[in-house]
Structure 1
Amino acid sequence: MLTTSRGISLILAFAISVLVAAFLSLMPDTTPTILLVAVGLTFSASYLLINITLEFLVFREIGNIYSLLEKIQKKELSEIQDKSLRSSLSPLRKINSVINTYALARQKEIDTLQKTAEFRREFIADISHELKTPIFATQGYIHTLLDGAIEDKHVRMRFLKRAAKSLDSLDVLVQDLLTLNQMESGAVRFTYTDFDLKELLQEVIEQLEHKADKREVAIKLDFDPEKSYITHADKPKIYRVCQNLIFNGMNYNHHGGEVKVSLKTHKNTIQVDVKDTGQGIPPEDLKRIFERFYRVEKSRSKEKGGTGLGLAIVKHILEGHKSKIAVSSTVGKGSIFSFSLPLDKEKKVD
């Protein structure tokens, strides 16, 4: 009982009332009735004040601290609630809030570490799968030649070309990985120049026209000939952004489809829209298409080719230009990828 707030309050209230009674007994005009009333009032008031103080400012907060420490000890950090630090007469509540804040910070660190570990596992699984395909294909062709097919000139040349194509795919994958890693680490520097974004898009379309013709996909560029599309950016990297977006729109389209590239000028920016007439992307996949190696089933299958890193590289290049890639898609109708670059109204490129 002595360890509870009531027990301590009774002892302290009794001691205070005894002291008051002893003090009043020294006064000559004090009657027994006055003495009894004073002792009763002193005891009651002291008990209530001490009990309230101990219960609400000390024992309850100590109990909260013990409960919080037990959760931390049991690693039940997810059950800890975020409570803002309110002004209080009790320093224990402040201590409780500090411990609570520390525990929440540790929980966030644990969550981050768990997400990082999960991402690492997924990345290792993805990169192993991506490397396995070209390596196994090359091994198969070479071992077949070593087993005797090398004597047949026709088979030899055909298998060597296929092995070389697989190794080229492996080289592209490694180069994309190196590029993405350099961008994420900040090792890639951007060289800004003034150039005509319309002319750059025309170059990209000309470069992809042969592949588009094979797939019977039309690529159109829509712009206003009366307007200027001069921008200040890293031209080779923006070229790669446009190339990846137009290639995806073409490669994941249906035969006889269309990729429409539109240029629109706003007050201080140039907006580029790449619209395709493909199968579209389901809503649940839209948030993940810019992750490494992420492919949407069917409409973004591996059979279409590519390394699965193109959109991740696009995202990092545009972030380096203080811009963002936006996407909207309707299943069965197609997708639109958009980004913006600064519009330079004053300068002209010869």
Structure 2
Amino acid sequence: MNMFKKRNLYIALLFISLLGLAFVQYQYLKIGLNLAKLQFNSNLGKVSGDIAYGLQSKNQLTFLLGSALKRDASYFTLSVDSIQDASSYYLNDYITEKLVNNGIDTDFSYTLHTKDSAFYLQSPKKFNAKYNVESYPIELNGYLSQLLGKRLVLELHFKNLNTYFLSKLNSYTLPSFLFILGICIAVVWVLRTFYWQRRVITTTNEFINNLTHELKTPVFSIGLATKILDETAEENQKPVLGMIRQQVKRLSVHIDKVLELGSLEAEKKVLKLEKVDFRPYLINLCKEFSTLVTIEKATFHYRIQDGKFVVNTEVFHLENAINNILDNAKKYADHPVIQLNASVKNNALVIEVLDNGRGIPINDQKKIFLKYYRVTGKESSVIKGYGLGLSYVKKVVEKHKGKVVMESVVGKGTKVTLLIPLCNE
């Protein structure tokens, strides 16, 4: 699976997870609404019992309500309409008290009427027909029914109960929706940053590719010129020309390395692994490096175990990776002393490169294989580089299904170990 498919898979998984989270939250909300409704009905049942019990016997409120329903003003100095208005307000306050005492604090209205609506009393508040109104009847027995000689019903009306239930759940649902919104914003920001970085990397790679292609022409010209000069050169000049050719070859390899690194990061299959005995190539590489460091006044020793090193590899890239490590080993010491050991252990080719350089701090060891990362210090300003070498090494070794291990002590030196799985012959 290439990087593009993996990225799309992760993005799809992320959005599916968000949708799943939203769906689960919706289901919890439905359950919460149902529980709120059950609790409301339970509380309303208690309210109904309290109201029916309070209006069962004769008292000031029931006497006033009876006079209002019968339109009897003989016991009052007020008009019938005034008695009815007063009764509506007193009954409204009475019902409000019972509702609040049982945990219900939403708007309501009511009607007090007989079954045939011969006697009728309405609450001061009236709901518009556009509201979703639910009604709960309470049958009243006792004094008022006996007074009127008819069955009496107090009908409570509540508007938009779902909105009321939601308001009760806001302390739970609102933070959940805010968290989901926060996750969505963070995801969008991460994706936007990711695509912006991909565009920057793509632009950078295009620039590097163009630059390295342009460098190939002068490198080829220098190589061609040294071949021409070699035909007429004197014997004492040929070692110098040989060194020029070797360095031109190394420069060409470095150019190819930069190009191939971009391909490796794009997950292109640029490595064609083949079963090869790598020992002869490793010996030749060590001999060439030994010649080079002799000229640069460095010390290099190598010890390669006898036998075959049969691995699945692309020789070009594995050689480049080892050359990178050797090149780093001689850069960071005043009088470089480098040792390469190669052996077979636990069905793996183990290549160790040890040096007596300045060493790498522990914090930097975790980042040293990142692309473009360089250890800060005086030597980093003197020794030029782009932080690509070890990143390239790590990618090449990983393509070989191996791993790179670094051990370093500041002031004493560094050991880099490559572990490449052997082939079963």
Whole-angstrom CA distance in 2 between matches of 1:169 and 1:228:
27
Deviation by residue 1:121-168 (Cα, 9 ceiling, x = unmatched): 9x69x97xx99xx9xxxxxxxxxxxxxxxxxxxxxxxxxx9xx99999
2:280 alignment counterpart: 199
Alpha-carbon offset, residue 44 of structure 1: 1.7
Alpha-carbon offset, residue 309 of structure 1: 2.9
Q: Does 1:272 align with 2:351?
A: yes
Whether the 8 Å CA contact 1:245–1:274 is kept in 2: the answer is yes
Q: 1:57 aligns with which of 169, 173, 184?
A: 169
Whole-angstrom CA distance in 1 between matches of 2:171 and 2:383:
67
Whether the 8 Å CA contact 1:16–1:43 is kept in 2: the answer is no
Alpha-carbon offset, residue 206 of structure 1: 0.8
Partner of 1:47: helix, strand, or coil?
Answer: coil
**TM-score, normalisation: structure 1:** 0.58
Q: Does 1:103 align with 2:215?
A: no
Whether the 8 Å CA contact 2:403–2:420 is kept in 1: the answer is no
Alpha-carbon offset, residue 254 of structure 1: 3.0
Unaligned runs of at least 5 residues, structure 2: 1-39, 63-90, 107-160, 216-240
Whole-angstrom CA distance in 1 between matches of 2:299 and 2:311:
26
How many residue pairs get matched? 267
**TM-score, normalisation: structure 2:** 0.49
Change (3 A) 1:106 1:116: same
In structure 1, what residue type is equivalent to 2:348? T
Q: Does 1:234 align with 2:314?
A: yes
Whether the 8 Å CA contact 1:328–1:336 is kept in 2: the answer is yes
Partner of 1:263: helix, strand, or coil?
Answer: strand
Change (3 A) 1:56 1:324: farther
Whole-angstrom CA distance in 1 between matches of 2:417 and 2:251:
29
Change (3 A) 1:117 1:286: farther
Partner of 2:346: helix, strand, or coil?
Answer: coil
Q: 2:52 aligns with which of 21, 24, 43?
A: 24
Deviation by residue 1:97-130 (Cα, 9 ceiling, x = unmatched): 4323212312323554576688789x69x97xx9
Change (3 A) 1:326 1:112: farther
Larger radius of gyration: 2
Change (3 A) 1:166 1:278: closer
Whole-angstrom CA distance in 2 between matches of 1:167 and 1:215:
16
Partner of 2:369: helix, strand, or coil?
Answer: coil
Task: Percent identity, please.
Answer: 19
Unaligned runs of at least 5 residues, structure 1: 1-11, 65-92, 135-160
Alpha-carbon offset, residue 205 of structure 1: 0.5
- Write out aligned runs for 1:316-327 (5 A): 316-327=395-406
In structure 1, what residue type is equivalent to 2:183? T
1:243 alignment counterpart: 323
Change (3 A) 1:327 1:19: closer
In structure 1, what residue type is equivalent to 2:334? H
Whole-angstrom CA distance in 1 between matches of 2:272 and 2:201:
31
In structure 1, what residue type is equivalent to 2:342? L
2:149 alignment counterpart: none
Greater relative CO (CA pairs within 8 A, separation 6+): 1
Alpha-carbon offset, residue 215 of structure 1: 2.6
Whole-angstrom CA distance in 1 between matches of 2:104 and 2:342:
80
Whole-angstrom CA distance in 1 between matches of 2:105 and 2:47:
17
Q: Give RMSD over aligned pairs.
A: 4.9
In structure 1, what residue type is equivalent to 2:301? K
Deviation by residue 1:4-26 (Cα, 9 ceiling, x = unmatched): xxxxxxxx99x958982798379
Change (3 A) 1:114 1:260: same
Whether the 8 Å CA contact 1:279–1:299 is kept in 2: the answer is no
Whole-angstrom CA distance in 2 between matches of 1:340 and 1:96:
49
Deviation by residue 1:209-249 (Cα, 9 ceiling, x = unmatched): 11111233232223443x65322222221111112212221
Larger strand share, 1 or 2: 2
- Write out aligned runs for 1:1-350 (5 A): 20=48, 24=52, 30-31=56-57, 43-47=100-104, 57-58=169-170, 61-62=173-174, 64=175, 93=176, 95-112=177-194, 174-225=255-306, 228-255=308-335, 257-296=336-375, 297-301=377-381, 303=383, 308-344=387-423, 346-347=424-425
